[in-house]
Amino acid sequence: MLSKEENQLLTRVGPGTPAGEMLRRYWWPVGFSENVMAKGSPNRARLLGEDLVLFRDGNGSLGVLGLHCSHRGTSLEFGRVEDAGIRCCYHGWLYDVGGRCLEHPAEPEESSFKDRVQHLAYQAQEIGGFIFAYLGPAPAPLLPRYDLFLREDGERHVGAGQDFCNWLQRAENSVDQTHLVALHAPEYPHMALKRPVIGWERTRYGARISMHVPGVTKPKLSHWVFPSHTRHTTARRGRIPDHAIRFRVPIDDTNTMTFWLRFYPYNQEERAKPFVMKTLGFENDQPGVYTRVQDGWWGIASHDQVRVAQESQGPIYDRSKEHLGASDQGVIMLRNMIKESIDAVRQGSDPIWVIRDPAQNENITFDASMQEIGALG
């Protein structure tokens, strides 16, 4: 259980908040490379309580700028992308990817006014089909080079879906493996409501989580990567095992975007096939709208089960009312690590799993088990 003050500390993510300042020390996915074309339409985004516009200028450079024009606040979402940057539709102010104002057509020709305008601009990089943004102070850390961003011996699929609740509710679900035997009972009937054995081992990147039901399932490993990512497999009986990574991205205090990547490795017979990249884009999720089914359990379609569990807690769950047990060790560990990282930032240090050494960032791999969550034998 947390106090109301502790709950506020961990859940508020806007500029100037303790958790928000800590979370700004990380790179976050905000869009898809395939959807942001050179001189194409701008893309609107929101991250950590800030409204942004994404674009790629005529030279191929990515821009992540504040959404509203520095002149009189018109949204740059409706601007035109040109060779040099993005031009506001209202008075034609032109900004480059660094936020410099290059032109203001209505001002006197000899005016140097534009040289005194610095529009809000953030760093952007892309990898694995995603566009990442960094909203924190300089110098920026390295963008992690996870193995699934780099592998080309299979198919890589990327997509995203919105969750209408606070980021911490989604992050806590990532370390709460006990819900598999209840919430996901329709998918895993052989271990439904059975007592699992779960281990949480703290690591330099977050936690290594093992889970099995004695006499029923094989051990499965997954990884929680601070501050809110998971690296795991989604192998189920009758399906081809695939590797996955999920990013629980704080949009603002009451909304989260889950960006996901699934990698389907080729088998021995498929090794000659070329690498395939598929961008599935954003799902059209709506608050409070879920698919109901007749499954003899909760009546919730598998793709909506987690959303129902977290969103029905409320936009920001009041943890002062909860009752935690021995099976909630992972949730307690997560909260303690967030508090530690908030304190580290306050003291001028990096939080957990901020990477600055290139030698540690060449190809980050995990020992996520490829075993199915299937019955023994």
pLDDT in the model for residue 373: 43
pTM, full prediction: 0.94
pLDDT digits (tens, 9 = 90+) for 275-298: 999 999 999 999 999 999 999 999
Domains of the chain: residue spans and CATH: 27-134 (2.102.10.10), 147-360 (3.90.380)
pLDDT digits (tens, 9 = 90+) for 104-120: 999 999 999 999 999 99
Task: Tell whether the model's pLDDT for residue 187 goes beyond 90.
Answer: no
- 66-104: burial string, b at 16+ Cβ within 10 Å, e else: bbbbbbeebbbbebbbbebbbbbeeeebbbbbebbbeeb
Q: Assign 369 a pLDDT band (cuts: 50, 70, 90).
A: low
Q: Residue 233 and residue 243: Cα distance in Å, rounded?
A: 5
Mean pLDDT of 301-323: 96
Q: Tokens for 221, please give them.
A: 């490993």
Q: What are the φ and ψ backbone dihedral angles of 44, each rounded to 5 degrees? A: -85, 145
pLDDT in the model for residue 220: 83
